[in-house]
Amino acid sequence: METYRVKVGTKGEIVLPVELRELLGLVEEDALDLCIDSEGKVFVRTAERSVRPLCDFFEDLIVNDLLAKGCSGDCLKKKLLERKLKLSTILDRLSEDSFRAHKNGQIIKCWDAQALTSLGIQKVPKGTYDVRITARGIHDLVALRKEELREITGVFERLEQDPFAYKRLRGPYYETYRVSFRCGTKECRVVYTIFEPENLIVIITVGARKVIYERLNGIA
């Protein structure tokens, strides 16, 4: 368990170290719960409305990678934190790229993606939100099997109705979320970002959880 030492200010305030704020995905005005057990130990946890950190999404995969490379003890803890922060930064960067692509007219409606239309899947958007997809996301769709493509249409339909119903991954700059769907025994993910003023959802990447992890690690 990682330990961080903080000091209490004259007015009772404490300042969380920047690496801890980044690790937890905390942003300004996020709520924290302070829990005290019977021995007087204080535990801090993010309240329900706080950002769910990306590290929860991939931690077991990161640990397995590091163990395979011979990391253990303090080295493992240090490298684990470094890898979590790197992945979080990459995800924010992909969200920024999707915003830029949107402004430049370089994203398309998800229902117009050739991977779907080639299967005869044609839908008329019925929800409040417009679901679009980046070039990276289109490339990821092509890698899916036909059965997975058919399942993902249900995900897009649900996102049109309420994109906030799913797990938030990371802040502070973008509203980035992920939703799971199953195809047989395989569990897949759709990672997307929300641009609220435009009621716009942009799909960043899709695929199996481990595949997405490997893709993010492959980004410099």
Pair of tokens at residue 151? 């399942």
Asked whether the beta carbons of 80 and 1 are under 8 A apart, the reply is: no
Residue where one domain finishes, among candidates 86, 104, 134: 86
126/186 same-domain check: yes
95/81 same-domain check: no
73/113 same-domain check: no
182-207 pLDDT per residue, tens: 877 788 899 998 888 888 999 999 99
115/33 same-domain check: no
Residue 197: give its domain's CATH number: 3.30.2310.20
SS (H, E, C) the chain: CCCCCCCECCCCCECCCHHHHHHHCCCCCCCEEEEECCCCCEEEEECCCCCCCCHHHHHHHHHHHHHHCCCCHHHHHHHHHHHHHHHHHHHHHHHHHHHHHHHCCCCEEHHHCHHHHCCCCCCCCCCCCEEEECHHHHHHHHCCCHHHHHHHHHHHHHHHHCHHHCEEEECCCCEEEEEEEEECCEEEEEEEEEEHHHCEEEEEEEEEHHHHHHHHHCCC
94/198 same-domain check: yes
153/201 same-domain check: yes
Asked whether the beta carbons of 95 and 194 are under 8 A apart, the reply is: no
25-56 pLDDT per residue, tens: 676 667 777 888 777 787 776 665 444 455 55
Q: Dmax over Cα atoms in the chain, in whole Å?
A: 66
111/187 same-domain check: yes
Q: Distance between CA atoms of 191 and 168, rounded to whole angstroms?
A: 10
What was the pLDDT predicted at 23? 63
Judging by beta carbons within 10 Å of its beta carbon (0-12, 13-18, 19+), is residue 196 exposed, middle or buried? exposed
98/13 same-domain check: no
96/133 same-domain check: yes
43/68 same-domain check: no
What was the pLDDT predicted at 1? 57
What was the pLDDT predicted at 206? 93
131/176 same-domain check: yes
CA 203 to chain centre: 11
10/63 same-domain check: no
For 76, the domain range is 55-86
Helix 135-142 vs helix 73-103: angle between axes, to the nearest 10 degrees? 110
What was the pLDDT predicted at 203? 93
What was the pLDDT predicted at 51? 43
Which residues pair with residue 193 across a beta bridge? 176, 202
- Which stretches of the chain drop beneath a pLDDT of 50? 49-52, 172
Pair of tokens at residue 166? 């799913």
Residue keyed to tokens 């395989």: 186
Residue 19: give its domain's CATH number: 2.10.260.10
Number of domains in the chain: 3
What was the pLDDT predicted at 27? 64
